[in-house]
Amino acid sequence: MRNILITGATSGIGDKIAQVLSKSNDVFMSGRRKLDKVNYYACDLVDMFEIEALYNRAIEYFNSDIDVLINCAGQYIYRPIEKMELDEISYLLDVNFKSAYILSSLVIPGMKKKKWGRIINIGSISGVVGEANASLYSATKSAFSGFTKALALEVATDNITVNTINPGWVETPLVQNALNQEDIQEVIDVTPQKRFVEPIEIARLCQYLITDYAKGITGQGINLCAGLTCGS
């Protein structure tokens, strides 16, 4: 059983990851919504002090160091670059990348002490191939590529792995509500497997990556996208 901290765990991908991993591990979750759970802390990941408070609450809950960190929190803005506001640039960078960087820096010492650890970043296929009218979102998600490789090298001898999962279009309520029927059909048409990725697929990949069977996988960006990056 591992001590696992998951951000963005109240809906969609993060919720499914928490459901799957909590069956055989001790999981502490965070999100923006208020929930009455002992293994949950509601916080704003834009706030450095809140990030530190989240880490401390998780440590207190486990009464031990964190073995696995899954950075799943993220926000999305779809808008042409000339219409982006300056405060939105800081906001998306803070939530999508800076929070993951800070949390990683907080959990690494404990992982080094145990000589075991796993960090999984939930990126996006938009950070791999780019997405028109989502340049800021794509930029924040592509930041995981360099971060993952560099940190993986930094902690390789400590039996700590660092990887990023880049999902394509995922079948979540958020996506389904954001797209009309025509948009949904267009996504299906351009995706080689003619389908949306299911959250359970991402959760099962996380489940595998935290095992010792996956100890040789580190510094990687794994595209779980139903073939979207393969071309047409």
CATH code of residue 163: 3.40.50.720
Domain that residue 106 falls in: 3-169+198-224
Domain annotation covers residue 141: yes
Domain annotation covers residue 98: yes
Query: How distant is the alpha carbon of residue 199 from its chain centre?
Result: 12
137 is catalytic: yes
Output the pLDDT for position 232. 60
Are the CB atoms for 165 and 206 separated by under 8 Å?
yes
Domain annotation covers residue 187: no
Active-site residue among 41, 55, 61, 137?
A: 137
Q: Is the pLDDT of residue 143 over 80?
A: yes
Residue range 83-89: mean pLDDT, rounded: 93
What pLDDT, in 10s, does the model give residues 33-64? Answer: 999 999 999 999 999 999 999 999 999 999 99
Domain annotation covers residue 86: yes
In the numeric block, which tokens belong to residue 160?
A: 């700590």
Output the pLDDT for position 13. 96
Q: How many helices (H) and strands (E) does the chain have?
A: 9, 7
Q: Supply angle C-alpha 9, 195, 148, rounded to 5.
A: 45
> pTM of the entire structure?
0.95
User: Could you give the number of structural domains in the chain?
Assistant: 1
State the residue for tokens 């990725």.
197
Domain annotation covers residue 177: no
Output the pLDDT for position 183. 83
